[in-house]
Amino acid sequence: MIKLRPYQNDIIKSLRTTLGKHKRTILCAPTGAGKTIMFTYLISEHLKRGGNVLVLTHRTELLKQSGSSFQKFGLSPEFIVAGSNPDLTAKLHVCMVETLERRKEAYNEFLLSKSLVVIDEAHLNIFTKILPSISPKAYVIGATATPERKGRTTPSLDEFYTGIVQRIDTPQLIEQGFLSTAKTYGMPISLKGIKRRGNDYDTSEYYEENKTYIGVVKNWKRLCEGKKTILFASNVKSSRRVCEEFNASGYPARHIDGNTPQNEREETLEWFNDTPDAIVCNCGILNAGFDQPDIESVILYRATTSLPLYLQMCGRGSRTTKDLNEFTILDFGENVKRHGFWEDDRVWSLSKKAIREMAAPVKDCPKCMAMLPTQAKECQYCGHIFPVKLTEAEEVELQLLDRAKIISEFKTMSNRELASACKDKTIKASWVLHNKTDKEDARDFLREMGYKKSFEYVNKKRYKVFQQ
């Protein structure tokens, strides 16, 4: 039996409590936190009590990874995929959502018989049509790192789910050693006049006209040569173009997309797993749920308006191994400037109307070209010292502490010191409040901040700030 991490036990306990009040609840935890392990544990416990379980997924890669997780718990699910003739009397099924959608009418009684339904990557709209067919008596767990939906015609998650459990976020997982730290590099581009494909940018023409694919290889060689790398492109043509440039420069690179034949896709991913310096270029296939812990470099060869997509892509490099606790992000679409750093703390909501904090401004280090918070006084990667302006001469002594150091020393700092760091924009007030466990302590911190705000008690260890 797998031994759960302390925060996973905490999340499971909170999820059980929430499901007692909200039968349809979102399990929100960052990429790499082990959502599959957590919901598989819950499935195992539910089956022991005589339950009947269905797991819904949307890609064959996720299907296989779920299967691997089940094996670790000694479970043998019945798989429902295209062309299959499954035993519908089994107590545990893992199903491709497209297959279930096609068989929805024939499987009506089957769907109503399930007492627990788990939906992996629940933020995706592809699951919307299936949800009404699930028994209202069933418990539904929607697992996702990014519970957000955009678009006027896309139903909001709060139309289906009434509860959400978010107990830990990326900064805390990095601090505890469960996620890797990220070095982020970027290049300025102008998105003016760039075409849209659906609700997102299509940067392919811009990159082709400016021969950005050459810059990708040059910068990768300078910063990441020899590292296992995954590249995300906005369309197939762009992905293939960069792949060709890598190959022409003598580097092992392959391309896959949604139209790649299944046997070729599997062979490519097996090659990627077995090749230490492999580069896989893809479009729309590996951004969610793909688990390859030894990835050391993530290339964003696209610009996106979607925060969930941005975080999912970056998260492919966030796993840790015994030899790896750091990865590199090469951003060719100004995504960091649009959405903030991958490792920033975020509070999620089921509603589309929820207001999230704007991304903190960033700047480039002139020495190593790493992307840093605007208020950084020293580059944490190369040690470059930024010139101090005259107006900054009398700032508090905390000015030389970088964000990572302040976070690691959080428990030793007074509320006055924390408020000074927040006013200096080294850390965010919301992050401090997320980690407050005592209401009076939270109120004292807000008084030190010097402005009138109140907070909503979300659960035992989280506070959500809102302006009065």
The enclosing domain of 138 has a CATH number of 3.40.50.300
Could you tell me if 229 and 89 lie in one domain? Answer: no
Residue 372 lies in a domain: no
Could you tell me if 195 and 155 lie in one domain? Answer: no
Give the pLDDT of residue 377: 76
Could you tell me if 216 and 74 lie in one domain? Answer: no
Residue 463 lies in a domain: yes
45-58 b/e (C-beta count within 10 Å ≥ 16 → b):
ebbeeebbbbbbbb
Q: Domain count of the chain? A: 3
Could you tell me if 111 and 195 lie in one domain? Answer: no
Could you tell me if 68 and 136 lie in one domain? Answer: yes
Could you tell me if 148 and 185 lie in one domain? Answer: no
Residue 361 lies in a domain: no
- Domain end, chosen from 275, 308, 339, is at 339
- Write out pLDDT tens, residues 241-269: 999 999 999 999 999 998 999 899 999 99
Radius of gyration of the chain (CA): 23
Residue-level length of the chain: 468
Q: CB–CB of 187/331 below 8 Å?
A: yes
Could you tell me if 20 and 160 lie in one domain? Answer: yes
Is the per-residue pLDDT at 394 higher than 60?
Answer: no
Could you tell me if 215 and 271 lie in one domain? Answer: yes
Could you tell me if 35 and 95 lie in one domain? Answer: yes
Residue 378 lies in a domain: no
Question: What's the whole-number average pLDDT of the chain?
Answer: 83
Helix, strand, coil percentages (3-state) for the chain, rounded to 5, are 35, 20, 45
Q: CB–CB of 297/230 below 8 Å?
A: yes
Is the per-residue pLDDT at 171 higher than 80?
Answer: yes
Phi first, then psi: what are they for 134, rounded to 5°? -80, 140
Q: CB–CB of 144/27 below 8 Å?
A: yes
Q: Which domain holds residue 444?
A: 387-467
Could you tell me if 180 and 143 lie in one domain? Answer: no
- Write out pLDDT tens, residues 420-430: 777 766 667 77
Alpha helix (H) ranges present in 149-260?
A: 170-175, 204-209, 212-224, 236-248
Residue 331 lies in a domain: yes
Could you tell me if 271 and 413 lie in one domain? Answer: no
Say what the pTM is. Answer: 0.75
Residue 275 lies in a domain: yes
Phi first, then psi: what are they for 138, rounded to 5°? -80, 150
Residue 391 lies in a domain: yes
Could you tell me if 16 and 111 lie in one domain? Answer: yes
- Write out pLDDT tens, residues 273-312: 999 999 999 998 888 768 899 999 999 999 998 888 999 9
Residue 379 lies in a domain: no
pLDDT band at 417 (very low <50, low <70, confident <90, very high): confident
CA neighbor of 166 nearest in space, from 328, 345, 374: 345
